[in-house]
Amino acid sequence: MHPPKTWDLFCRVVDNYGDIGVCWRLARQLAAEHGLQVRLWVDDLTAFRRICPDIDAGLAMQSCRGVEVRHWEDPFPDVVPAEVVVEAFACELPERYVQAMAARPKKPRWINLEYLSAEEWVGECHGLASPSPRLPLTKHFFFPGFAADTGGVLLERDLAERCRDFQQDARVQATFWLGLGLTAPGPGESRISLFCYPGSRAEELFTCWSGQETPVTCLVPEGIAGEAIAAFFDQPTPAAGGSLRRGSLEVRILPFLEQDDYDRLLWACDCNFVRGEDSFLRAQWALRPMVWQPYPQAEALHLHKLETFLRRYGEGLPEGTARALGDFCRAWSCGEGVGAAWPAFWAQRTALARHAEAWAATLQSQGDLAARLVQFCPDQL
């Protein structure tokens, strides 16, 4: 008997970058911190390459950061399944591979990794087993979450230390900014990163920021908020490296960054607008005020997810601070009243930054998702 060493992770890039973003972090962590042999199957290497430029989108097989990266193509090759198989976000494994799993003398541990959510029911469903009606295989549901009865959240062993070292070292930060073509922030200047979904009311924010007394630099990844930028400045949105100014506001377009550099951007900013799943969590580890925009879903399900998160996250916040945060996050996600809600939110930034530290410390004390996933795979496979 031995703990399972070989892992296959399957990732389908539905749209955006969250699926591959989460899988890539998890794959790297399993290899680096748990010494596992990880194969990551990804159907869209071009999307992968945007967050990890070392990826060669033309290769069927390559090794990157201790992980074997395989292009998930159709027809699927004839391979021996790993001892642990992670199907990310119900991406549906290739039939040929499932048949090969069923034919193994020791059946692989089959795990469906679900999306992160703060909802109550997550704890009840975490770990549930679902036996296949046609094959001798059982799938288990692994739910990331913020409560102790869930699968936890991704957190690399050294992340908190790296973040702290970065935030305490003005020289390292200045070098980081220089790499993005910026000098270190001037006196009184606020730096705000903006990663949002199409249709967000960023122009209302720009109006607030341009009229503030102190300077605001808003950092926007290329391809994000393009319409709002063009509408506010009444000219085409520049390419990466370009910037536009009005009043106290400078909007600067950044290239899409390699994932670790995106983390550093969040650490370096005074406030981060994030979305989806992975940047949402990374902003929590950045210990700065953040505004989350959940992935828009039918029947406004995402707004319910926002409320459940706000309820959890807001525990321990003074009432006024929690209200200002909630009002602004709601306005941002609904696209209504963004400009009106901003001043009260921004007035709470010191309290929010303090709270961000307390929240991260609590999350950290609950253990991390990769370690829980490893524990979830018994020795006797």
Residues that bind ligand TRH (CB under 6 A): 14-19, 21, 51, 115, 195, 221, 256-257, 259, 262, 275-280, 295
Minimum distance from residue 211 beta carbon to ligand TRH (Å):
27
Minimum distance from residue 98 beta carbon to ligand TRH (Å):
23
Smaller CB distance to ligand TRH: residue 17 or 97? Answer: 17
Tell me how far apart the alpha carbons of residues 15 and 6 are, in angstroms, rounded to a whole number. 28
CB-CB contact of 215 with 250 (8 Å):
yes
Instruction: State the distance between the two ends of the chain, measured CA to CA, in whole angstroms.
Output: 8
In this structure, the number of other CB atoms found within 10 A of the CB of residue 226 comes to 16
Minimum distance from residue 221 beta carbon to ligand TRH (Å):
4
Active site residue 44: no
Identify the three-state secondary structure at position 60.
Answer: coil
Tell me how far apart the alpha carbons of residues 261 and 3 are, in angstroms, rounded to a whole number. 34
Minimum distance from residue 76 beta carbon to ligand TRH (Å):
22
Torsion of CA 363, 367, 369, 374, to 10 degrees: 180
CB-CB contact of 10 with 88 (8 Å):
yes
* Strand 271-275 versus strand 129-131 pairing type: unpaired
Smaller CB distance to ligand TRH: residue 204 or 263? Answer: 263
* Of the candidates 72, 110, 111, 114, the residue with the CA atom closest to the CA atom of residue 89: 114
In the chain, alpha helices (H): 18-34, 45-51, 95-103, 121-125, 159-168, 170-179, 202-210, 226-233, 259-268, 278-285, 301-313, 319-334, 338-347, 349-365, 369-375
Minimum distance from residue 17 beta carbon to ligand TRH (Å):
3
Smaller CB distance to ligand TRH: residue 128 or 301? Answer: 301
Smaller CB distance to ligand TRH: residue 266 or 356? Answer: 266
- Catalytic residue, candidates 43, 114, 119, 277: 277
How distant, in Å, are the alpha carbons of 76, 242, 248, 328 from that of 344? 54, 31, 19, 8
Smaller CB distance to ligand TRH: residue 110 or 262? Answer: 262
* Of the candidates 342, 72, 315, 323, the residue with the CA atom closest to the CA atom of residue 206: 342
CB-CB contact of 25 with 33 (8 Å):
no
Position of minimal CB gap to ligand TRH: 18
From the centroid of its chain, how far is CA 67?
A: 20
Smaller CB distance to ligand TRH: residue 305 or 372? Answer: 305
- Catalytic residue, candidates 19, 43, 87, 263: 19
3-state helix, strand, coil in the chain (%, to 5): 40, 20, 40
Minimum distance from residue 259 beta carbon to ligand TRH (Å):
4
Tell me how far apart the alpha carbons of residues 87 and 26 are, in angstroms, rounded to a whole number. 12
Active site residue 270: no
Smaller CB distance to ligand TRH: residue 89 or 328? Answer: 89
Smaller CB distance to ligand TRH: residue 25 or 109? Answer: 25
Minimum distance from residue 279 beta carbon to ligand TRH (Å):
3
Dihedral of alpha carbons 305, 115, 284, 357, sign: positive
Minimum distance from residue 262 beta carbon to ligand TRH (Å):
4
Point out the residues that are catalytic: 19, 277
